[in-house]
Amino acid sequence: MPVNLDKPHLWKTDVAASVDLYNTWFMRFAPEAFRQARHRTADGVLADLAHTNHLADLSPPVLRQRPGVLRALRMCTAPPLALDRLAGLAGVNRSLLLTLEGTESVPGRLPPRMLGAELDAQLTRMGDVIATLTDEFIFPWVAAGLTPTPAQEERAASIVADRLCNTLADPIIRNAQEKRQLALIEAWLLARGYTALPAGTPYTAMAPGTFAFRLNVPVKDTAGKSINLPVDAVVQPRGAAPGDFPLLIEAKSAGDFANTNKRRKEEAQKYAQLRATHGPGVRYVLFLCGYFDAGYLGYEAAEGIDWVWEHRPDDMTDLGL
């Protein structure tokens, strides 16, 4: 039975309530989430500075030992350098720089197929660019050839961390919001007698009345290759029969209307892959909070994707939970 996709007469009211809920959360909790991320990042920057002898040594051997340091080093210049800008100035391949830097969740690494001399040449050019553009206001000791005082080091790390977090502000807020959404889903399910399973539990091994977060569900891509599709929450309803496919829930939040319309095709593609692999009976729903307008909702409804609003979580009972 549809939950919200067949009720367009309620969408306007729900959108307004969802925007209000997101804005209230943002004003109360987003600043603290950002501060915590900045504190963690500052600790990492201090380690990066120590590794490079406080920017005095940007040689290939140093960068090889800790390639992820390049992400922080781009924020040590005046002006701070976007990844593509550093790649352009140093004349290096963008994909190489992406591999070296890594991401928030994937550590940077050395490219396995690049020869040592070639890699050293590119690392040298990157180090030269960063050394030339080092922000003297933040790092006054570099040009003077001195060792920074602890206060100078702390101040520099704080500024660089702030720059890094500003470039990652949206992911930081989105991750904090997703964590909160999953906690709400968990509390709702536990209150109704469901049992939480550890992450990594195979979805095929879930007994009725259980749930788990961040499970991989295998699907076929457009080329027929098997890939793992990450799903935020997987729930096997209490009334499920043996062999029933569990309910898949994707937590979605958005702080503006523009980004939701850019992302709406992602859910449709996931749902299409799930149906193509596991059959038309697969149930895939969204758990929404924030700026999801009628255009987004209409698109998802046309694709057969239903949703539950975070401000009305009890609608999950209509999913058989």
pLDDT tens digit string along 204-229?
Answer: 889 999 999 998 888 887 777 788 88
* pLDDT, average across residues 6-33: 89
DSSP symbol at 321: -
Does the pLDDT value for residue 244 go beyond 80?
A: yes
| pLDDT at 116 (0 to 100) | 82
The percent of residues in the chain predicted with pLDDT above 90, rounded, is 53
Report yes or no: 292 and 309 within 8 Å, Cβ to Cβ. no
Considering the chain, tell me which residue range(s) the CATH 3.40.91 domain(s) occupy.
Answer: 8-32+170-319
| Model confidence band, residue 187 (pLDDT cutoffs 50, 70, 90) | very high
Does the pLDDT value for residue 127 go beyond 70?
A: yes
What are residue 133's phi and psi, to 5 degrees?
-100, 10
| pLDDT at 105 (0 to 100) | 66
Distance, CA of 82 to CA of 85 (rounded, Å): 5
CA neighbor of 128 nearest in space, from 64, 82, 79, 59: 59
| Model confidence band, residue 32 (pLDDT cutoffs 50, 70, 90) | confident
Amino acid making up residue 46 = L
Report yes or no: 284 and 250 within 8 Å, Cβ to Cβ. yes
Amino acid making up residue 313 = P
Residues 6+ apart with CB under 8 A from 199: 212, 213, 214, 215
> What strand order describes the sheet that includes 247-254?
195-196, 210-220, 226-236, 247-254, 284-290, 306-309
Helices (H), 191-228: none
Mean of per-residue pLDDT scores for the chain: 89
Distance, CA of 194 to CA of 186 (rounded, Å): 9
The encoded tokens of residue 187 equal: 């509390």
* pLDDT, average across residues 85-94: 92
Q: What is the CATH number of domain 8-32+170-319?
A: 3.40.91
Residues 6+ apart with CB under 8 A from 112: none
The percent of residues in the chain predicted with pLDDT above 70, rounded, is 98
Cα dihedral 175/82/126/56 (nearest 10): -70
Does the pLDDT value for residue 78 go beyond 70?
A: yes
Q: How far is CA 283 from the centre of its chain?
A: 24
The encoded tokens of residue 148 equal: 């920074």
